[in-house]
């Protein structure tokens, strides 16, 4: 049902600072940096096999991402899997008692459906599922 | 220099409990469970594209993994990249001021060299590098 790991999201205070490590010291490639979520988040996309590593920086203080940073500091924020059937994936999770953050998938600007599983159900891991539009 | 994401390591209190979520509810496949690090750790290997997700359970209370669990609870513990030239990768990191946990790579039972980068240098992410033997 899961197709592949799409990305690992790393919460950072400042993307340019983080690139000094991930790009210069570690040797990863930067594809591009873009504003996401209507300008609430800045994201650096770094390709990695058939997925990518994403550095995510909050641009407003009230977002979940900003609160995560304030509470836990920088680090891995979430992992995202591509699924081929979002409805079936969410139904299976609910049938097994998993708690979802999004009972119904959200839809982004390009029509992609995505939903988060609550980390309480996922052994402390914030998991995003998405299905290509 | 980095070749691919090899695995994501998730620290769990009990592998069998965690499989109820990752295998039954999320639908991931379990390849096998094995003892690692001379019996100090139990690891469930779950294939994921050209890498894998690993559920890691400490079997002794003094390990770094056990301390991580006691302090932070369950969740993502580390990510591991395969590199084609470990010495060059570590030299590049040091040249850029990154702090290593292992200045010289460790070698596991099958002869694989691996080394950890300190999360203080990696924006809160514990990164393992390894090179095939």
Average pLDDT for residues B33-56, to the nearest whole number? 93
End of a domain among A77, A108, A125?
A: A77
Q: Which residues of A touch B50 (CB under 8 A)?
A: 49-50
Kindly state whether residues A97 and A128 are assigned to the same domain. Answer: yes
Kindly state whether residues B49 and B66 are assigned to the same domain. Answer: yes
Q: Which residues of A touch B28 (CB under 8 A)?
A: 2
CB–CB of B124 and A75 under 8 A? yes
Check which CATH number belongs to the domain holding A118 and give it: 3.10.180.10
In degrees rounded to 5, what are phi and psi of residue A59?
-110, 0
CB count in 10 Å sphere of residue B109: 8
CA A130 to chain centre: 10
Of A2, A12, A123, nearest to B27 by CB-CB distance is A2
In a domain, A2, yes or no: no
In a domain, B12, yes or no: yes
**ipTM score of the complex?**
0.92
In a domain, A15, yes or no: yes
Q: Work out the pLDDT band at B37, boundaries 50, 70, 90.
A: confident
Please check whether residue B24 touches A, CB under 8 A.
yes
In a domain, B37, yes or no: yes
The whole-angstrom distance between B110's CA and the closest CA on chain A is: 25
- Chain A interface test: which of B13, B76, B83, B126 (most A C-beta within 10 Å): B76
In a domain, A22, yes or no: yes
Question: How far, CA to CA in Å, does A73 sit from each of A59, A114, B40, B92, B96?
Answer: 16, 25, 29, 26, 22
- The number of distinct structural domains making up chain B is 2
Q: Work out the pLDDT band at B107, boundaries 50, 70, 90.
A: very high
Whether the model pTM is above 0.90: yes
Kindly state whether residues B94 and B118 are assigned to the same domain. Answer: yes
Q: Work out the pLDDT band at B38, boundaries 50, 70, 90.
A: confident
Kindly state whether residues A109 and A133 are assigned to the same domain. Answer: yes
Kindly state whether residues A66 and A124 are assigned to the same domain. Answer: no
Domain with A42, as residue range(s), is 8-77
Of B5, B72, B127, nearest to A49 by CB-CB distance is B5
Kindly state whether residues B72 and B98 are assigned to the same domain. Answer: no
- Find, in chain B, the residue whose alpha carbon is nearest to that of A13: B123
């Amino acid at each position: 049902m899961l197709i592949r790991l799409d990305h690992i999201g790393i919460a950072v205070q400042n993307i340019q600072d983080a690139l000094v490590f991930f790009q210069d010291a570690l040797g990863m490639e930067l594809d591009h940096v873009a504003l996401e979520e209507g300008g609430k988040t800045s994201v650096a996309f770094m390709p990695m096999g058939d997925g990518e590593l994403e550095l995510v920086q909050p641009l407003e203080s009230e977002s979940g991402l900003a609160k995560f940073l304030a509470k836990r500091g920088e680090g891995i924020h979430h992992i995202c899997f591509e699924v081929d059937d979002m409805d079936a994936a969410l139904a299976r999770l609910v049938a097994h008692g998993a708690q979802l953050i999004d009972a119904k998938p959200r839809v982004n600007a390009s029509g992609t459906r995505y939903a988060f599983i609550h980390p309480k159900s996922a052994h402390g891991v914030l998991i995003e599922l998405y299905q290509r539009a």
